[in-house]
A and B are shown apart, each in its own frame.
Chain A
Amino acid sequence: MSGLAVGEFPTIPASGVSEGNARTQCAAESGPDSATDVASQRATQALSRAEWQSVVFGLEPSRLDLLALKPSWPLRSLRVVVYRNSGVELFTPLLSRFLAYAGYDADFSIGPYDDSLSFEAASQADLDLVWLDPERYRLRDGDFVEWLLGRFRFRRSIVDRPILLAALPGVLDSAVQAALDAAISELAGVVTLPLAELQARLGEAFYDRDAARFTGSPLSNRAAIEIARALGLVWMPPVLQPRIKAIAVDLDGTLYGGVLGEDGADGIRAAAGHVAVQRTLKSLSEAGVMLGMISKNDPTDVAALFRDHPDFPLRIEDFAFSAVGWGSKAAAVRGMAGQFRIAPDAVLMVDDNPGEIASAAGAVPGLRTLLAADPDDAARALTWYPGLVGYGVGAADLVRAADLGAAAERDRIAAEATDTSAYLRSLDVKLTFAVDPVRHRHRLHELSMKTNQFNTSLARLPEAEVGRRIAAEDCRVISVSLADRLSDSGVVASIQTRLASRTLVVDEIAISCRALGRGVEDLIVGISVLKAAAELGACRVRFVAVEGPRNDPGREYADGLLKEAEADEGAVIACLRSRVARVRGQVRVDWEDVS
């Protein structure tokens, strides 16, 4: 089944372009002449993507069905360099379809068969994929791990982009495999792919060594399809794009069968597929994805529904946002994003009604959508949806919901407080700073990639670059953690600095939106910059500020400081000292030992 053809769209580079930006560019180039046309085009594209669901999320996707798919929505170009000693041609044509569903136009540059991993022809790309069959190496012991680690250290030293390593499973001794995984995990931005999990699922059907004579790979057709699906939907998106942070869930027909307003709570039944959808949503919620309920129903009926159905895995308390009424779902999604302090493109809408999907997708640029017309299909789709799975569960994910839950209480305290000092004192705010903290490397990379509002330069630093800066003598990388008596927000800020001719260049300040408006911006920036300047012996401070679509707060903060210093970079340090002194006494400040 192919998507509806609604026009050809240009592709744009994957690096450094937000999805919202991509859509704007594409719309402008394909020439719709009014906002209505653009909304209509987005709605049609959402329905086209929904048509792909039965294939890409199918129980056993067919090669032919996948090859027949043609995307009709804007795609970001993605250049993947493949280094290999075994055939990948078996799955790359399928991988391009899964990546298209995830929003990418993949271009594979496939190198020659090379057991030595010489990494020749390093070209511009967004991602390296290293595909190895360990069977081809005579020695597969600790020396092999050391040699492989050396090759990856070399590769890491010459490129910053993410590197994915896939070694065919079941060949290496389990202790050697564990040693390899542990050694590789120490390298910034290098990820080993859990092919063994797929092998465990497919069992003997994973390999088809007879086929290797014409496919160049020992993989079976089924394994090739599943590997393409895992790569395109689960393994590659996490190194290319931010995670979906919230799911807007419909009720009738999505979480259960029946219409609440007509059948009443007693007449509602959850089939096995509905229960599976609820269970999956519940586990996503436990992994830090926030849930919102968006339903055209009566709020009292909904309260009765959850009260009268203890059999539902999801409870009403699992929803951090609720919009139950008769307004538009697009407005509800915007309200939910606002309350969660996230961009609408970090929201996935799940609804069984294609009309609602089309309407919301048309009205909310960047909104991701999943049509839940069939509950069994929807439950499976939620375990594969790109941007939703494969990210692991970081500390930041786990604290997000609790932190936002405390936001309302903070707002109340702020309204009652006479000034910022009283507000900070009443919350018992604590900031913990760390200089060059290797253990926060991934979180600092996340902050650079994800923050849009208070991000001064949108440098979007790869994890490898953050690691390089942490180790560099002439750089200081500062992380800042924030806690108060209501919640622990974890690491909320990243400050990237370097010394250039006695000037401290602040390449990027990235502060999570969860920390904004809490009266601590001056302390976060001031203490970090003053510390870095002191350690590096800088007497001037220069902020790198780059204009982006949504980063006015960050840029204006940097511009404001420079204005206060009357455009004198030498006077910025005094301005920062003065700002810090104003609130320093109201907040506990601590330094983390990173040695």
Chain B
Amino acid sequence: MVEGLIEARVRCVMSTVLDRPLDGVASDAQGSWDSVDWINILLSLEEAFAVELRYLDDWERIDTIAGISEVIARRTAC
């Protein structure tokens, strides 16, 4: 449930940064955004959730919306 709420908020942040609605599937891969969007997405998510998402060991997990949401859920729970 918490992860679902977080994912909804992540989608909202990403949609604002990308200035378009995201498609329905939670598989918007990192590679489909350009580097400026990616910087803005990560920094905006860090702002919105007051967490740090920048460390290399998590990068492989944050290439999908579900992965990002999972990392945020884990970090905000700490």
Contacts and interface: CB of A to CB of B under 8 A. Distances in A.
Interface of A: 62-64, 67-68, 89-90, 92-93, 210-211, 213-216, 221, 224
B5 interface: no
Contacts, number: 42
A221 B46 contact: yes
Q: What 6 A-B pairs are tightest by C-beta distance, nearest first?
A: A64-B44, A89-B36, A221-B43, A68-B16, A63-B44, A215-B39
Interface in B53-72: 54-56
Which of B17, B36, B48 has the most CB atoms of chain A within a 10 A radius of its CB? B36
Contacts of A93: 36, 40
A214 B13 CA distance: 19
Which of A64, A93, A215 has the most CB atoms of chain B within a 10 A radius of its CB? A64
Nearest to B55: A210
Contact of A64 (B16, B55, B56): B16
Contacts of A62: 47
A215 B16 contact: no
Contacts of A210: 54-55
Given A68-B16, A89-B35, A89-B39, A63 B54 contact: no
B40 A63 contact: yes
Given A64-B48, A221-B46, A90 B16 contact: no
B40 A213 contact: no
A224 B40 CA distance: 11
A214 B42 contact: yes
A63 B47 contact: yes
Contact of B43 (A68, A92, A215): A215
A67 B40 contact: yes
Contact of A221 (B17, B36, B47, B55): B47
A89 B35 CA distance: 8
Contacts of A215: 39, 43
A89 B40 CA distance: 9
Nearest to A220: B43
Contacts of B56: 213
Given A68-B16, A214-B42, 7 more contacts: A89-B36, A89-B39, A93-B36, A210-B54, A214-B38, A216-B35, A221-B47
A67 B40 CA distance: 9
Contacts of A213: 54, 56
Interface string B3-21: 0000000000100110100
A92 B40 CA distance: 10
B31 to A, nearest CB: 14
A119 B37 CA distance: 26
A248 B11 CA distance: 44
B47 to A, nearest CB: 6
Contacts of B54: 210-211, 213-214
A432 to B, nearest CB: 53
Contacts of A211: 54
Given A68-B16, A210-B54, A90 B39 contact: yes
A181 B43 CA distance: 33
Nearest to B43: A221
A92 B35 CA distance: 13
Contacts of A90: 39, 43
A62 B46 CA distance: 11
Contacts of B44: 63-64, 67
Nearest to B38: A214
Contacts of A224: 43
